[in-house]
Structures are given as structure tokens and as C-alpha cells.
Amino acid sequence: MTAMTAWQSLREHHAAVKNRSISELFEKDKDRARFSAICGDMLFDFSKTNIDDEILDRLIDLAGQAGLADRRAAMFAGDAINETEGRAVLHTALRNLDSPILVDGRDILGPARATRARLIRFAGDIRAGRIAGQGGRITDVVNIGIGGSDLGPAMACLALRPYADGPRCHFVSNVDAAHVHDTLAPLNPRTTLVIVASKTFTTIETMTNARTARDWMAASVADPATQFAAVSTDAARTAAFGIAPERVFGFDDWVGGRYSLWGPIGLPLMLAIGADAFGDFLAGGAAMDRHFRETPARANLPVLLALTGIWHNQICGHATRAVLPYDQRLSRLPAYLQQLEMESNGKRVAMDGTDLGEHSGPVVWGEPGTNGQHAFYQLIHQGTRIVPCEFLLAREGHEPGLAHQHRLLAANCLAQSEALMRGRSLAEARALMAARGLRGAERERQARHRVFPGNRPSTTLLYPRLTPFSLGRIIALYEHRVFVEGVILGINSFDQWGVELGKELALTMEPILAGRQPATGKDASTRMLLRYLAKGPASGS
């Protein structure tokens, strides 16, 4: 079967089963829960979807026709699978630096090992007070970055807060002055370390915030550069900024920004939880790598998660997916996955530059439960569009004295997935209203408002506890999911040209706003907006 006929086969099968009830699948198949898989003590359940054995076989055939096995082997071998930029994709290597990767007979991981050793020493010296600020021991760390230099470490530091015994970590990303001002305002500049995370040290938002932070620190610290570090590959620019070379940590171009938490971009996390716990985080990612490489497709969590996504988005036509962690400390995970998935697979052309024959990745969004239940779950349950949901839940929390609250949290998570699948029929709603004493037309009207269509798909990922090891597995799981979906779609998941045009145009807007250049060549709408920002409302063009 070719890839084209595999797509067509899936569409034909979907047309035949699209109105089938997921609940009825459970009634007819007492072993329906077999549509699940395990990685160690992590369980992925996709049985509450419309996927059956035949669909799964066809999805696996589709992945095979796309060359998933060969593409996966090429990634782990260090081949330049990022073809538009001519780069290898080796963020996975950062999780297991002990295994050499030879390119032209040279182990390319040597510099990464040396950098890891320097990071461990630096983080240890900060945490032990051997490196201090001019006001004493470092109490706070401010990471200034954007995109992959911010979302990953910010998400992970919050997720692993129970393990944080180092300096408090804060994150600044937005060039909006409110972000840097409100973050720095309560801190003591004399006991604060600032990390500037920018590979090129030219990212305009990051460097603007970095200069603001340096000015803030200079008001209280004689030599503010002594309380700065950088994650960057540009030694000349970091030196010009005043940062000592021993406090500059670079990484190779085979690590993309949104995949970089495992290396120097993870410095804030290492400072917060220590090198040993950070090692556990890496070990979790490496464990998922082994599972991804060695496990057959029908039991392979990243493959199954990706195939479920392909089924829902490209075959069923559901344009969005909701990521719903029932874990407050994973509240930044949906935002992290927004970038990971939408920047990776939000493409319109295939690897060879031709237009895609299928829609690319979905819109990814979400919030932690149970908060979302009192917000957007209304649309998920009773709206006119189907939103596949991805629930995440730990078996236990970090607060043993509040175990009853975790049980309530878990009960809500499981109840929501069941409610999405089962729904409530009009007959059931009529009976409910009749029990409340309603009759006739009013009973009918009220009943219709209480109908839940049901038959709405969801998956659930369970793990024992949100530990560094568990978090590493979760992030690696989603990274590989993105990779598999990208391979099936035939796109390059590791470039991001879509971020370039807006940045280029912003450089032309700032001189106009500053009054240094005219708005020549700008459209009427943009000229009107520019005039408003310069001097207030204006009519016409």
C-alpha cells in the first residue's frame, strides 16, 4: 500500500464509522481497554476514541509508508534530517551523552560533555554559595529569553517545584516593559543572578530586556556583569556585553530552541533542583527514547499518541486539540506544547517544497483541570465542534496530608473523559426534568438544554507522580509525537521560517514609531494605526 492509498483507505473507513458510538464499542468489546500501552509505570489510554483494530492497522501502515522507522534511525544516528537548514537533530543526544555519535569519524558530543560538566560546576557553586552576588548568596535567578529559551525552563521549574531547594527562579520573555519591570521590582539586585538566553545574542526582545536588567542592577551593583551569565554561541557579543567567558554556555546548531531544555537552556532548572535531580530528568527523557526506538508500533506510546492525533486532525477533521493536565504544576505544559507542536508542524509545504496534500498540525491549547471545567469545558461538552481532549493525571500528589483533594482531582479527571464519551440523551434529560416536576413544553425546553451529545474522543496519560524522571518522560513523549506526525505529513518539523517575516517587519516599524522614518509603502490600515500610536485617533488613511 502506498502512502496515498493509505490516506484514502483511512478516509473511506472513517466515512463508514464516523457516526459510530464509542460507548457501543465498549459494549460490544469487553476487552476494549486493550487500546492502551505502557512505558514502565506510565499508562497511555486511547480506548475512548473511535479507533478500532482495522483503523489502527491502517494508521500503522501509513506510518510505515512514510518511512518512519528509517527516519527515526536517521535522527538518532545524527543524520542531517533538518534538510532546509542542513542540520542534524540531536536533542535526544543531550539526554544520553555517554553514547558517542560519530560524524565523519568524529564524536560530535565531546563539546556537549564539556559544557555539561561546566554547567554542573557553575550550578553547584551558585547553590553552595561559592559564587555569590555583591550582596551575598544568590537568592534569585532571572532567566531572560523568549520562545524555546523561556517556555521550557519556565514550565519545568514550575512542574518540579517540590524538588526546588536552590535559588528562586523567575522568567522574563515579553518585550512589554511590564514583564521585566514587575519581575525585577520585588528582587534584591545584589543577590540576583541574571541569565541571558539567546543563541545568537541578537534576539531583539531578549537583548532589550537584558539591557534593562543590567541598568536595574547597575543602580545597586558596582559591576553588574559579574552577576550575569549567558546561554549563547556568540562569544564576541557576550564579551561585549561584559559577561565573563567562564559564565557563557553554548550549544550546537543540532539542538533547536524548542527542544533545548535538556542542555544549557535548562540551567535555571539545574540551579533550582540541583544536578542530581536534573540527571533524573534527563534519565526520564532517555527512557522514553529507548521505548520509542525499541517498542513495536502497537505498544509504542509516542507512535500511538501521534497516530491518534493524525486520526483526529487529518482524517476526522478536528482542527484543535485540548491538552488538559490535572496537575496544577503542569499549568504551563499546554503553552509549552503550543510552541513545540505548532512551530514544529505548522507548515504548508512538504520537505521537497511542494504544497502539502493534507492539513498540517492542529491548534493546540488547554489549561489545567479542574479550572477548565468552570470555563471552556462548556464548549467541549455541548459546542458544535468536536475537540479531542488529552488528559494527564498523576496517581498521587506531593501533599500526603491532602490526599482527599487529590482523590477529588482524579475523580473529576476520570468523570470528564467518561462524560465526553457517554453524553446524556434527550430521553435521559426528559426523565431528569420530569423528576424535578416539569411537564409539557417546559419540560421539553429545559431537557434540550441538558442534552450532551457525547461521542467525543479523549486520551488519558497516567503516571505515578510528577517527579523529575516522570517529567522527562512526558516531554520526550510529546517531542517524539511531534516527530512522528511530521514524518507522516512529510514535513520538516525542525525549522521555523514562519517566525521570520513578522520579526523583519517589526524592525521597519520601530523607526517609524520613533519618528525617524516616514511610513512610506505601508498600507492604509497600518498608517492609521501608526498615527494613532503617535498622537491619538485619526480618521481616514
Query: Residue 93: inside a domain, yes or no?
Result: no
**Minimal CA–CA distance to 270: which of 395, 167, 357, 389?**
167
Q: Per mean pLDDT, which range of 171-185, 435-449, 492-506 is the poorest?
A: 492-506
Block residue for cell numbers 520509542: 292
Regarding whether 490 and 523 lie in a shared domain, the answer is no
* Inter-residue contact 260 to 148 (CB < 8 Å): yes
CB 62 within 8 A of CB 5: no
Residues 192 and 113 in one domain: yes
Please tell me the least confidently modeled range out of 314-323, 344-353, 493-502: 493-502
Asked whether residue 274 carries a pLDDT value surpassing 60, the answer given is: yes
Decide if 458 contacts 388 (C-beta within 8 A).
yes
312 and 355 both lie in a single domain: yes
Nearest Cα to 291, choosing from 142, 114, 164, 472?
A: 472
Strand pairing category for 320-326 and 248-249:
unpaired
Identify whether 343 is a catalytic site residue. Answer: yes
Domain that holds residue 523: 501-535
Q: Residue 291, SS3? A: helix
Instruction: List the catalytic residue out of 18, 181, 359, 503.
Output: 503
Residue 364 lies in a domain: yes
Q: What is the C-alpha separation between 358 and 467, in angstroms, rounded?
A: 38
The per-residue DSSP string of 373-391 comes to GGTTHHHHHHSSS---EEE
Residues 428, 433, 438, CA angle at the centre, nearest 5°? 145
- Which of 445-454, 488-497, 500-509 reaches the highest mean pLDDT? 445-454
The string of DSSP letters for 75-108 reads: HHHT---BTTTTB---GGGGG-TTS--EETTEET
* CB contact at 8 A, 85 and 504: no
Residues 347 and 473 in one domain: yes
Residues 356 and 489 in one domain: yes
In the Cβ-directed half-sphere of 118, how many Cα atoms lie within 13 Å?
Answer: 18
* Residue range 235-256, pLDDT digits in tens: 999 999 999 999 999 988 889 8
Give the Cα separation of 423 and 141 in Å (integer): 48
Q: Which strands, in side-by-side order, build the sheet including 363-365?
A: 36-39, 42-45, 458-463, 389-394, 320-326, 363-365
Last residue of a domain, one of 215, 242, 273: 273
| Catalytic option among 30, 374, 404, 449 | 374
**Do 277 and 163 meet the contact criterion of CB atoms below 8 Å apart?**
yes
In whole angstroms, give the CA distance from residue 93 to residue 100: 9
Q: Are residues 129 and 171 in the same domain?
A: yes
Cα(346)–Cα(360) distance, integer angstroms: 6
> Do the domain assignments include residue 465?
yes
- Specify the pTM: 0.95
φ, ψ dihedrals at 265, nearest 5°: -60, -25
Peptide bond into 370 cis (omega under 30): yes
| Integer CA distances (angstroms), 506 to 124, 205, 252, 253, 537, in order | 40, 11, 28, 25, 22
Would you say residue 489 lies in a domain?
yes
pLDDT of residue 514 exceeding 50, the answer is yes
Total domains present in the chain: 3
DSSP state of 356: P
Average pLDDT for the chain: 95
pLDDT score recorded for residue 253: 84
DSSP string, 314-339: IIT---EEEEEEE-GGGTTHHHHHHH
Residue 53 has pLDDT above 80, yes or no: yes
Q: Summarize pLDDT for 441-489 with one digit per residue, the tens.
A: 999 999 999 999 999 999 999 999 999 999 999 999 999 999 999 999 9
Q: Is the per-residue pLDDT at 189 higher than 60?
A: yes
Last residue of a domain, one of 214, 242, 273: 273
Has residue 466 been placed in a domain? yes
Supply φ then ψ for residue 380, to 5 degrees: -65, -40
Q: Assess whether pLDDT exceeds 90 at residue 540.
A: no
Residue 66 pLDDT class (50, 70, 90 cuts): very high
How is residue 48 written as a grid cell?
A: 475512548
Tell me the CATH number at 250. 3.40.50.10490
Mutual orientation of helices 524-535 and 500-513 as an angle, nearest 10°?
50
Query: Mind listing the pLDDT tens digit for each residue in 122-148?
Result: 999 999 999 999 999 999 999 999 999
Q: Which of 205, 343, 367, 485 is catalytic?
A: 343
pLDDT > 70: percent of the chain: 98
Angstrom distance (rounded) from CA 207 to CA 355 = 36
Same domain, 224 and 323: no
Nearest to 173 by CA among 137, 121, 218, 210: 210
Please tell me the predicted confidence (pLDDT) of residue 106.
83
Indicate if 219 and 344 belong to the same structural domain: no
Contacts of 86 (CB under 8 A, 6+ apart): 80
Judge if 38 and 114 occupy the same domain. no
User: Could you tell me if 165 and 235 lie in one domain?
Assistant: yes
Task: Supply the DSSP string of 168-232, one letter for each residue.
Answer: EEEEE--SSHHHHHHHHTTS-GGGEEEEEE-SSS--HHHHHHHHHHHHHHHTT-SSGGGGEEEE-
Same domain, 113 and 71: no
In-domain check, residue 417? no
CA 109 to chain centroid: 25
Quick one: pLDDT at residue 1? 54
Region 261-284 average pLDDT = 98
- How far apart CA 190 and CA 140 sit, in angstroms, is 10
Question: Is 433 inside any structural domain?
Answer: no
* Boundary (domain end) residue, out of 252, 273, 294: 273
d(CA 494, CA 499): 13
Task: State whether 319 and 205 are in the same domain.
Answer: no
The band of 538, judged by pLDDT with boundaries at 50, 70 and 90, is low
Would residue 157 count as lying in a domain?
yes
Residue 535: pLDDT band by 50, 70, 90 thresholds?
confident
CATH number for 530: 1.10.1390
- End-to-end, the C-alpha distance of the chain in Å comes to 58
Residues 6+ positions from 160 with CB-CB distance below 8 Å: 269, 272, 273, 277, 281, 329, 466, 467, 468, 471
Q: Is 139 exposed, middle or buried (0-12, 13-18, 19+ CB in 10 A)?
A: middle
Burial 332-362 (b: 16+ CB within 10 A, else e): bbbbbbbbbbbbbbbbeebeeeeeeeeebbb
